[in-house]
Structure 1
Amino acid sequence: MPTTYGQFCPVAKAMELLDERWTLLVVRELVAGSRHFNALRRGVPRMSPALLSKRLSTLVRAGVVERRQAGNRITYALTPAGRELEPVIDALGRWGIRWVPELGDADLDPHLLMWDVHRNLAYEALPDTRTVLKFSFADVTDAPRDWWLVITTDGVDVCDHDPGFDVLVTVETKLRTLTQVWRGDLTWTAALRSRDLAVRGDPSARRALPRWLKLSPHASTPRPARR
């Protein structure tokens, strides 16, 4: 039986749908542009495929998500009701950055970090030719420590194995450090100065890298003064 609060309050009615585990993160991925099941999975890498299917089915039945099929190709898209959740997702993200800044080791995930980084590139600033960026996380032991972004005019591939192309720039860092840079908790300059992050490769590309890699949409959120 679905969870109910037994209240007519519209907040309670909304949360009967949205507060199931992972549901809002699935909506977050759809807001971020994921349209296919495998892309959604990469945005929630610790969610089982079976549970993702279940949550998508629930959102489809609720009229928040539309499931479209063309031949064997299935896509998911937010309905008008789903799109109204976009400012809710954005507000939650900015609130989390401001008021829940602590990151435990269990919160760090190279799969999710590289997936987020790959979909926030400044394409207008990147070279017109194929560009390969390598990221090496020296402190990662329970997942691939080396990752590659292969950027072409057709899009971006995220690889956890060597794609075999020449690397233009290599970023050597700790997973926590790059996560903090991505979130806007730490600047590139501060990370380089602390030597927790190093950039190797073509000199002009090293200087341009911070312009190529956009930060989290919430990175610019002002933080409250802390004691």
Structure 2
Amino acid sequence: MGASYHQFCPVAKAMELLDERWTLLVVRELVSGSQRFNELRRGLPRMSPTLLSRRLHQLVRAGVVERHVDGNDVRYVPTQAGHELRPVVEALGAWGVRWIGELGDEDLDPKLLLWDMHRNVDHSAVPQGRTVVQFHFRDVPPALRDWWLVITGEEADVCDVDPGHGVTVTVTASLRGMVEVWRGDRSWPEALRGGAVTVSGPEALRRALPRWFMLSGFAAVPRPAPPA
């Protein structure tokens, strides 16, 4: 637990655990379905492994998470207390979309974007067999420029090196443009018309691609009306 606020208010008592750096983002990943350490790291690419281990230990000690060990397989599973934090995370995210709209360049991360997208594939809309979507971000350093999403059956894998399969469609975009589509700040048609995102490949697949992804859960949050 963090330092005590020495207040009986339940908000203060909750924040003694939750307001330490990264803690709520670890909870975000846990309630989104990540259970293994490496999965959590992929959803928190800028968090050090040491700090992640420390935060998980704190959450286990607080009864928010249980650590399940089966041989070499270690999973971190939210308890009832952990699951009850889901609406808290969702409410914070919705508030952030509505009132903290500014994104700096340092906030844009292709690792996190692709990890989030792979969790929101609509497998019923994707063609049968193996589908490979290559993402080319034209405005990021070369080491982070190309990503592949390999979709087979009910599985989706994120690759940062060429997996060696034929590419079904290629998405070329500015990183900001793709993030804005994912967050719901602009629609797929708007991004495609404006050139922030382009899709190349067979026409039927190009047209179908936006339906392969269920957008971020925050995309549908209504934005505040602009000031008069």
* TM-score (structure 2 length as normaliser): 0.97
Separation (CA, whole Å) in 1 of partners of 2:142 and 2:14: 38
Q: Which residue of 1 aligns with 2:136?
A: 136
CA distance in 2, matches of 1:61, 1:142: 42
**Cross-structure match for 2:223:** 223
Aligned-partner Cα distance in 1 for 2:19–2:70: 31
Question: Which residue is equivalent to 2:112?
Answer: 112
2:132–2:151 contact (8 Å) kept in structure 1: yes
Query: Equivalent residue for 2:53?
Result: 53
Q: Does 1:124 align with 2:124?
A: yes
Superposition RMSD in Å: 1.1
Q: Give the aligned partner of residue 156 of structure 1.
A: 156
Unaligned runs of 5+ in 1: none
Give me the identity figure in percent.
63
Alignment of 1:56-75 (within 5 A): 56-75=56-75
**Conserved? CA contact 1:110–1:143, under 8 Å:** no
Report deviation, 1:154: 5.4
What does the per-residue CA deviation read over 1:11-61, in whole Å, with 9 as the maximum and x for residues that have no partner? 000000000000000000011100100000000000000000000000000
- Cα offset for 1:138? 0.3
Q: How many residues align?
A: 227
What residue ranges of structure 2 are gaps of 5+ in the alignment? none
- CA deviations on 1:45-104 (whole Å, 9 max, x unpaired) are 000000000000000000000000001110011000111101101111111111111100
Q: TM-score, normalised by structure 1?
A: 0.98
Q: What is the identity, as a one-letter code, of the residue corresponding to 1:119? A: R
Find the counterpart in structure 2 of residue 84 from structure 1. 84
Equivalent position amino acid for 1:178 in 2: M
Report how far residue 126 of structure 1 moved.
0.8
- 2:100 matched to 1:100? yes
Q: Which residue pairs with 1:205 in the alignment?
A: 205
Q: Which 4+ stretches in 1 moved above 2 angstroms?
A: none
Q: Once the 2 structures are TM-superposed, how far is the Cα of residue 201 of structure 1 from its aligned partner?
A: 0.3
